[in-house]
């Protein structure tokens, strides 16, 4: 499987004022030859679809061709009613895009990173998954101790196998290496992904509540111990809280 290039070719810069033809030329979709997952820009992903791809519900911004979209509830993956109530009124969903055509995905202007797994596993924050191939097995995990806070870390998706995965982050992601005896502690709202070999623990620290601005009286952190990595973003992402 061909790995997409890290950065798509730069488009010609637009002058402050430009003709309509200059605008169209500079912004027209280009074929970068990256295969199934093609980064049109660092914030827009094109799926060159000829089959099926799992996508985050609501991430499709445009498409052409013969493409069918089917919602799959995460509840069908074994997540309980607590997740359905806590995440959204309708439950969090993955949408299957299937057919032949081009599908364009984006998520609130967040930066997109494309990763190729080779019989490997990664856990991605539920807010930060964008798309992944059906050759990859996935399972939904809920962090029950975080359910009371408005956190993007409420549910996570564990991906295992071989294939392409697209994740998102606010601004540039950074990865911290976890080593034995050198644990890493992160804010759940700023945690994007971590290696499948790690099982983070949720801890609280009242002494940090004023520093982190938590209104609940407690500061929640994720503690990673062992060998692996954890990817963070320079932004605290807060998930939508639905009315009960």
- HSE at residue 97, side-chain half, CA atoms within 13 A, is 31
Q: Is the pLDDT of residue 213 over 80?
A: no
Q: Band of the pLDDT at 244, cuts 50, 70, 90?
A: very low
Backbone φ and ψ for 131, nearest 5 degrees, come out as -165, 155
Q: Which domains does the chain have, with CATH numbers?
A: 35-232 (3.60.160.10)
Radius of gyration, CA atoms only, the chain: 19
Cβ neighbours, 10 Å, residue 228: 19
What's the CA gap between 239 and 190, in Å, rounded? 12
- Report DSSP state, residue 182: B
Which has the closest alpha carbon to 185: 220, 237, 141?
Answer: 220
Among 44-48, 125-129, 231-235, whose mean pLDDT is lowest? 125-129
Identify the pLDDT of residue 76.
53
Among 13-22, 63-72, 134-143, 171-180, whose mean pLDDT is lowest? 13-22
Q: Band of the pLDDT at 109, cuts 50, 70, 90?
A: very high
Q: Is the pLDDT of residue 82 over 50?
A: no
pLDDT digits (tens, 9 = 90+) for 132-156: 999 999 988 777 555 545 444 468 8
Among 56-65, 160-169, 214-223, whose mean pLDDT is lowest? 214-223
pLDDT above 70: percentage of residues in the chain: 72
Identify the pLDDT of residue 37.
97
Distances in whole angstroms, Cα of residue 157 to Cα of each of 128, 143, 226: 9, 11, 20
């Amino acid at each position: 499987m061909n790995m997409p290039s890290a950065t798509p070719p730069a488009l010609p810069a637009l002058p402050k004022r430009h003709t309509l033809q200059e605008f169209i030329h500079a912004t027209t979709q280009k074929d970068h030859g990256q295969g199934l997952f093609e980064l049109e820009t660092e914030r827009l992903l094109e799926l060159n679809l000829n089959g099926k791809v799992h996508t985050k519900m609501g991430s499709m911004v445009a498409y052409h061709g013969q493409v069918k979209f089917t919602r799959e509830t995460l509840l069908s993956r074994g997540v309980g009613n607590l997740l359905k109530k806590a995440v959204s009124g309708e439950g969090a969903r993955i949408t299957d895009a299937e057919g032949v055509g081009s599908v364009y995905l984006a998520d609130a202007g967040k930066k997109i990173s494309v990763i190729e797994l080779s019989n490997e596993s990664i856990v991605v924050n539920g807010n930060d998954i964008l798309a992944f191939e059906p050759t990859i097995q996935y399972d939904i995990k809920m962090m029950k101790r975080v359910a009371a806070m408005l956190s993007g870390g409420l549910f996570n998706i564990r991906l295992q196998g071989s294939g392409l995965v697209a994740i998102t982050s606010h601004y540039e992601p950074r990865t911290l290496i976890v080593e034995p005896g050198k644990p890493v502690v992160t804010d759940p709202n700023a945690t994007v992904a971590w290696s499948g070999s790690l099982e983070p623990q949720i801890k609280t620290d009242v002494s940090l509540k004023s520093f982190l601005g938590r209104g609940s009286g407690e500061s929640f952190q994720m503690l990673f111990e062992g060998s692996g990595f954890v990817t963070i973003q320079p932004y605290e992402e807060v998930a939508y809280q639905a009315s009960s």
